[in-house]
C-alpha cells in the first residue's frame, strides 16, 4: 500500500526523468520519517505536560521561541550556501564547492562563539522570570538554564550546515530523517524522566537541547569522513571571495529570515506578555494540530528547492512548469483536509490532551486559515528561493515584520480577541503575498521578469 502511495505521488508531482525520480525516492522516505516525527511530536506533548506543570510547559514553549530568534545570526549563510553549493556542483566545480563549505563553517563558528560569550555576559543582568512573565520561584533555574540552552543552540547553527549540504546535493529527506530521530529520542528520554519523582524545568531543558546537538555532531562526523569527504571544511580554504559569494545572496535571505522569525516566532512571547504563559499552551496545541498539514505539504515542497536551482541553471523550464502545475493541483486538497480537521478538532483535542486544556473554536478556525495561506505561498516561494530572486520577498518581509507585533497586540488586547487575534494578525501580514508570489513566478518562468521581479 505504501509503494502504491509513493507511485501515485510520483505521477502527480513530477515527470519521470532522473531529477524527478530522485525527488520521488526522497519523498517516499520523507513521508516515512515525517509520519514518525508527527506521531512522536504528538506523544511528546502529553508526556511533557505530565512531567512539567502547564505553567512550566508554557515557559518552555516561550523560551524556545525566544532562542529561535537568534537563528538569524547565521546572516543567511546557510541558504546562500545551499544555492551556491548546488550551482558549483552542477557545473562540476568541486574545489569551489569545498571552499564555499569551509567558508560557511568557519564564519558561522566565529559568529557562534561571539554569541555564546555575549549571552553568558548578559545573563548576569537579566531577570528571566520577569522577562517571561512568570513566578519568581523559577528565577534561579532560568538563570542557569538559559545560557545552557543558548550554547547548544549556537553550536547547532554550525552543525546544521551539514543538512544544508545534503539538501543542496538533492538528498532531500535528510532534514526529515534528522527530525525523526531527534523527536523519537526526545520522547524516550522525557518518558524516562517522568518515571522519576523529579519535576525539573532545568533537567528537561538540558536534555531536550542536548539530543539534536549529539545527533548533528554524529552526522557531521559521518558525512565528512564518508560521502562528503571531498567537501570537508578546512581553515585554509576560507576565502573572502567565497564569503562575498554566499553572503551576497545570503544577506537577502538573512533579512527574510529575520522577518519570518518575527512573523512566526514572536506569537508565544506576545501571548506570554499580554496574558500569561498558560495561554501559550492552548495556542500551541492548536498550532501543532493544524501543522500536520503544513508538515505534510513541506515534505512535498522541500525537495524542489535545490532541484529548481539546478533546473533553472540548466534552463529546463518545462520541468519546472510541469512540477509547479502538479503541486498546484495537490494544494486544492488542503482546504478540504482543513475543513475535516476543523470539524474533528474538539474531539481530537479531548483525546490528545484531555479536558484540562480548552481550545476556543475561533482559534481553530484562524489556525486553519493561517495554514491555508502558508501552504499556498509555499508553492511559489520554494521556486523563488531556489532561483535566488528574493529581493521582492525581502521588501515584503520587512513590511510584515514592522506591522506584525503592533497588529498582534492591537487585535489580541485592544480588540479583545485574545490568542485568536494574534494568529489573525499574522494572517493579515501574509495576505498580500498570496497575490505577489504567483505573479513573480509567472514573470520568471516566462522570461518577462524585469526590475525587482528579477532580483
Question: Given this model, what pLDDT does residue 46 score?
Answer: 83
Read off the pLDDT of each residue in 78-92 and give the average, rounded to a whole number: 81
Cβ neighbours for 286, distance < 8 A, ≥ 6 positions apart: 345, 359, 363, 364, 367
Read off the pLDDT of each residue in 268-280 and give the average, rounded to a whole number: 82
Digit-coded pLDDT (tens) for 363-409: 999 999 999 999 999 999 889 988 888 889 888 888 888 888 899 99
Q: Are 197 and 227 in contact (CB under 8 A)?
A: no
Q: Are 311 and 86 in contact (CB under 8 A)?
A: no
User: To which H or E segment does residue 180 belong?
Assistant: helix 174-194
Cell 486538497, located at residue: 333
Predicted TM-score (pTM) of this structure:
0.63
- With H, G, I as helix, E, B as strand and everything else as coil, classify residue 333: helix
The rounded distance, in Å, linking the Cα atoms of 355 and 386 is 44
Computed from CA positions of residues 59, 60, 61, 62, in that sequence, does the dihedral angle turn out positive or negative?
A: positive
Question: Given this model, what pLDDT does residue 442 score?
Answer: 92
Number of helical H runs and strand E runs in the chain: 20, 0
How much is the mean pLDDT over the chain?
83
Rg (CA), the chain: 22
Q: CB atoms < 10 A from the CB of 333, how many?
A: 11
Q: CB atoms < 10 A from the CB of 172, how many?
A: 23
The rounded distance, in Å, linking the Cα atoms of 192 and 440 is 50
Question: Given this model, what pLDDT does residue 373 score?
Answer: 94
The rounded distance, in Å, linking the Cα atoms of 278 and 49 is 11
Q: CB atoms < 10 A from the CB of 448, how many?
A: 10
Cβ neighbours for 131, distance < 8 A, ≥ 6 positions apart: none
10 has a pLDDT exceeding 70:
no
The rounded distance, in Å, linking the Cα atoms of 229 and 437 is 38
Q: Are 51 and 196 in contact (CB under 8 A)?
A: no
Choice among 142-151, 244-253, 305-314 with the minimum mean pLDDT: 244-253
The rounded distance, in Å, linking the Cα atoms of 453 and 455 is 6
Cβ neighbours for 125, distance < 8 A, ≥ 6 positions apart: none
Digit-coded pLDDT (tens) for 15-49: 456 666 777 766 777 778 877 887 887 788 888 88
Most confident segment among 2-6, 105-109, 394-398: 105-109
Instruction: Name the more confident of 60 and 111.
Output: 111
Task: Kindly state the cell numbers that stand for 159.
Answer: 552543525
* Spatial CA neighbour of 255 closest among 81, 402, 395, 115: 395
* Spatial CA neighbour of 436 closest among 405, 402, 390: 390
Q: How many residues are listed for the chain in this entry?
A: 455
Q: Enter the DSSP assignment of 197.
A: S
344 has a pLDDT exceeding 90:
yes
Question: Given this model, what pLDDT does residue 296 score?
Answer: 81
73 has a pLDDT exceeding 80:
no
Task: Kindly list the distances between the CA atom of residue 405 and the CA atoms of 68, 273, 311, 373, 431, in Å, as whole numbers in the listed order.
Answer: 17, 12, 38, 19, 16
Task: Kindly state the cell numbers that stand for 24.
Answer: 520521488
Amino acid at each position: 500500500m505504501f509503494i502504491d502511495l509513493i507511485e501515485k505521488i510520483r505521477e502527480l508531482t513530477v515527470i519521470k526523468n532522473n531529477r524527478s525520480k530522485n525527488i520521488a525516492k526522497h519523498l517516499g522516505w520523507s513521508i516515512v520519517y515525517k509520519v514518525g516525527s508527527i506521531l512522536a511530536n504528538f506523544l511528546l506533548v502529553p508526556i511533557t505536560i505530565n512531567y512539567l506543570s502547564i505553567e512550566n510547559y508554557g515557559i518552555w514553549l516561550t523560551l524556545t521561541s525566544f532562542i529561535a530568534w537568534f537563528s538569524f545570526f547565521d546572516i543567511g549563510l546557510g541558504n546562500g550556501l545551499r544555492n551556491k553549493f548546488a550551482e558549483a556542483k552542477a557545473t562540476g566545480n568541486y574545489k569551489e564547492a569545498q571552499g564555499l563549505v569551509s567558508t560557511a563553517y568557519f564564519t558561522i563558528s566565529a559568529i557562534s562563539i561571539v554569541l555564546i560569550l555575549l549571552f553568558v555576559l548578559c545573563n548576569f543582568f537579566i531577570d528571566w522570570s520577569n522577562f517571561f512573565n512568570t513566578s519568581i520561584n523559577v528565577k534561579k533555574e532560568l538563570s542557569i538554564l538559559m545560557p545552557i540552552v543558548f550554547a547548544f543552540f549556537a553550536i547547532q547553527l554550525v552543525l546544521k550546515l551539514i543538512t544544508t549540504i545534503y539538501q543542496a546535493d538533492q538528498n532531500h529527506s535528510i532534514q526529515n530523517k534528522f527530525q525523526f530521530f531527534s523527536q523519537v529520542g526526545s520522547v524516550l528520554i522525557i518518558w524516562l524522566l517522568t518515571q522519576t519523582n523529579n519535576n525539573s524545568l532545568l533537567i528537561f531543558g538540558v536534555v531536550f537541547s542536548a539530543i539534536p546537538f549529539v545527533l548533528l555532531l554524529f552526522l557531521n562526523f559521518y558525512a565528512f569522513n564518508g560521502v562528503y569527504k571531498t567537501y570537508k571544511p578546512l581553515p585554509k580554504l576560507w576565502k573572502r571571495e567565497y564569503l562575498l559569494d554566499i553572503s551576497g545572496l545570503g544577506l537577502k535571505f538573512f533579512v527574510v529570515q529575520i522577518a519570518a522569525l518575527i512573523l512566526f516566532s514572536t506569537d508565544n512571547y506576545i501571548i506570554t506578555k499580554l496574558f500569561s504563559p498558560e495561554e501559550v499552551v492552548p495556542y500551541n496545541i492548536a498550532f501543532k494540530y493544524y501543522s500536520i498539514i503544513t508538515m505534510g505539504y513541506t515534505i512535498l515542497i522541500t525537495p524542489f528547492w535545490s532541484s529548481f536551482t539546478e533546473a533553472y541553471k540548466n534552463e529546463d523550464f518545462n520541468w519546472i512548469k510541469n512540477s509547479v502545475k502538479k503541486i498546484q493541483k495537490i494544494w486544492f486538497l488542503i482546504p478540504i483536509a482543513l475543513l475535516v480537521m476543523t470539524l474533528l478538532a474538539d474531539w481530537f483535542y479531548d483525546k490528545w490532551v484531555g479536558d484540562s486544556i480548552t481550545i476556543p473554536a475561533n482559534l481553530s478556525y484562524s489556525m486553519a486559515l493561517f495554514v491555508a495561506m502558508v501552504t499556498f505561498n509555499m508553492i511559489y516561494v520554494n521556486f523563488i528561493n531556489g532561483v535566488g530572486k528574493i529581493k521582492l520577498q525581502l521588501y515584503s518581509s520587512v513590511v510584515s515584520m514592522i506591522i506584525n507585533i503592533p497588529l498582534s497586540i492591537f487585535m489580541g488586547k485592544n480588540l479583545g480577541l485574545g490568542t485568536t487575534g494574534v494568529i489573525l494578525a499574522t494572517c493579515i501580514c501574509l495576505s498580500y503575498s498570496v497575490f505577489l508570489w504567483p505573479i513573480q513566478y509567472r514573470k520568471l518562468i516566462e522570461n518577462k521578469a524585469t526590475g525587482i521581479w528579477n532580483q
